[in-house]
Amino acid sequence: MNNKKLLMLVEIAIFAGIGLVLDQISFKFWAQGGSISFVMLPILIMAVRWGILAGITTGLLIGVLQMSFGAYILHWVQALLDYGVAFSVVGLAGIFRKQILRAAHEVNKKNITLYIVLGIVVGGLLRYAAHAIAGAVFFSEYAGDQNVWLYTIIYNGSYMIPAIILTAIVGSLIFTAAPRLLQTK
C-alpha cells in the first residue's frame, strides 16, 4: 500500500470519528429523532479532499458508528436507509471536486464557495430523501390523519434544510480560508 492511500484511509477513520462527535453536539428538538448538526462537514471535507469514494466511505463509516452507539432501528431496511444510505450519499458532494480544485488553483474563492455549496446541496438533499423515504415507510404512524409523505417531508426538512445550509456555510468558509486543505500530499 502506498503512502498516499494509507493517508487517505487514516483520514477517513479520523474524520468518521470527528463526524460521530459532531453529531453528538447537536440541536435536538424533535422527539422522533433528527437533529441539526455538523455531521455532514467531515464527509464533505473527505469528498472534496480525496473524491467521491472517500466521501461515501466516510459517510458509511459514520452511519455504522451511529448504529453501534445506540440508533433507533425498527427494521434492517430502515437502518440501511437512515444510517447506511443517508450518510453515504453525502459523499456525492465530491462530484464537484474537479471544479473546486480548479477554482482553488485559480484562487477563485467565489467559485470555491459555489461548488462547495452545490456539492453539499446535492449530498444533503440525497440524505434528506433517504430519511424521508424511511420516515414514510417505517414511521407513518406519527403522521396521524395527515398525508404521510407530506408529513415526512416537512418533519425531515425541519432539520435537514438548516443542517444543509449550516454545512454549506461552514464548508465554504473552511475551504476559502484554507484552500491548502485541498492538497493531499
Dump the DSSP string for the chain.
--HHHHHHHHHHHHHHHHHHHHHHSSB---TTS--B-STHHHHHHHHHHH-HHHHHHHHHHHHHHHHHTT---SSHHHHIIIIIIHHHGGGGGGGGHHHHHHHHHTT-HHHHHHHHHHHHHHHHHHHHHHHHHHHHHH-GGGGTTS-HHHHHHHHHHHHHHHHHHHHHHHHHHHHHH-GGGG---
In this prediction the pTM is 0.91
Domain 3-182 fold is Arp2/3 complex 21 kDa subunit ARPC3 (1.10.1760)
Q: What are phi and psi of 27, to 5 degrees?
A: -100, 110
pLDDT at 184: 66
Domain boundaries, the chain: 3-182
Residue with cell 462547495: 116
Q: What is the mean pLDDT of the chain?
A: 90
Residue with cell 438548516: 162
For the purposes of burial, counting CB atoms within 10 Å of the CB of 32, is it exposed (0-12), middle (13-18) or buried (19 or more)? exposed
pLDDT at 185: 63
Check whether 172 has a pLDDT greater than 70: yes
Which whole number is the average pLDDT over 175-184? Answer: 79
Write out pLDDT tens, residues 82-131. 999 999 999 999 999 999 999 998 989 999 999 999 999 999 999 999 99
pLDDT at 73: 85
Question: Cβ distance 158 to 102 under 8 Å?
Answer: no
Write out pLDDT tens, residues 35-73. 788 999 999 999 999 999 999 999 999 999 999 988 788
Least confident of 10-19, 53-62, 117-126, 148-157: 148-157
Question: Cβ distance 20 to 88 under 8 Å?
Answer: no
pLDDT at 139: 82
d(C-alpha 128, C-alpha 132), whole Å: 6
Please indicate whether residue 30 or residue 111 has the higher confidence score (pLDDT).
111
